[in-house]
């Protein structure tokens, strides 16, 4: 079997053009943002056949720990899983299009940990309610609806 020498970024462009007519406009826009901001910069320089489970696993870890565009930290686990869905779907289509063997990929997602949630004390809650009740922007029907 001969090697397919197409860069993943080029395949992504073809794949996205094919998807446009098959998905909602908002889905297509979300795919485009994901591809441009995260997927193509990390994986676009690989040939399709070079994107293995190991390569994608390294990319998942990169996205989880330092994938934000501002470089401050990683992306959420949900965002990374959404990116992986796009990658896997596009690779499945490429393998079908170029008659390449299937390559299932099992990936590990590190736990993103529990985020702490600030909870108001009863005294703080009462203070907040009183501030809202005495605000000039307060809506009595809204208050009644919230306490129905």
- Our count of domains for the chain comes to 2
Residues 15 and 87 in one domain: yes
Query: Distance between the two ends of the chain, CA-based, in angstroms?
Result: 69
CATH at residue 21: 1.10.150
Considering the domain boundaries, does residue 134 fall inside one?
A: yes
Model pLDDT, residue 104 = 85
Q: How many CB atoms lie within 10 A of CB 59?
A: 22
Mean pLDDT of the region 78-82: 95
Residues 23 and 90 in one domain: yes
Nearest C-alpha neighbor of 45 from the set 103, 16, 5: 5
Model pLDDT, residue 56 = 97
pLDDT of residue 92 exceeding 80, the answer is yes
For the chain, the average pLDDT equals 87
Q: Which residue has the higher pLDDT, 85 or 140?
A: 85
Q: Which residue has the higher pLDDT, 89 or 21?
A: 89
Residues 89 and 128 in one domain: no
pLDDT of residue 38 exceeding 60, the answer is yes
Residues 126 and 92 in one domain: no
Nearest C-alpha neighbor of 107 from the set 69, 63, 54: 54
Residues 81 and 141 in one domain: no
Considering the domain boundaries, does residue 108 fall inside one?
A: no
Considering the domain boundaries, does residue 34 fall inside one?
A: yes
* Alpha helix (H) residue ranges in 20-76: 25-34, 40-43, 53-66
- How far from 19 is each of 12, 15, 31, 93, 113, CA to CA, in Å? 10, 6, 9, 11, 35
Model pLDDT, residue 144 = 60
Tell me which residue range forms the domain holding 123: 118-148
Residues 93 and 53 in one domain: yes
Residues 85 and 134 in one domain: no
Considering the domain boundaries, does residue 112 fall inside one?
A: no
In sequence order, which residues have a C-beta less than 8 Å from that of residue 43 and are 6 or more positions away? Answer: 8, 9, 51, 55, 56, 59, 87
pLDDT, tens digit, for every residue of 48-70?
Answer: 999 999 999 999 999 999 999 99
Residues 140 and 93 in one domain: no
Residues 63 and 29 in one domain: yes
Cβ burial of 12 (10 Å; 0-12, 13-18, 19+) is buried
Among 39-48, 62-71, 105-114, name the most confident range: 39-48
Considering the domain boundaries, does residue 68 fall inside one?
A: yes
């Amino acid at each position: 079997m001969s090697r397919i020498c197409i860069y993943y970024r080029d395949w992504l462009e073809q794949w996205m053009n094919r998807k446009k007519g098959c998905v909602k406009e908002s889905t297509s826009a979300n795919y485009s943002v994901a591809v441009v901001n995260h997927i193509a910069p990390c994986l676009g320089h690989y040939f399709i056949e070079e994107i293995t489970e190991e390569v994608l696993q390294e990319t998942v870890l990169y996205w989880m720990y330092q994938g934000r565009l501002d470089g401050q930290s990683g992306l959420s686990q949900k965002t990374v899983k959404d990116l992986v869905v796009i990658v896997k779907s596009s690779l499945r289509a490429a393998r079908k299009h170029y008659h390449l063997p299937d390559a299932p990929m099992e990936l590990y997602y590190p736990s993103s940990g529990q985020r702490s949630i600030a909870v108001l004390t009863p005294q703080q809650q009462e203070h907040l309610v009183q501030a809202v009740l005495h605000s000039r922007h307060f809506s009595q029907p809204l208050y009644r609806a919230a306490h129905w």
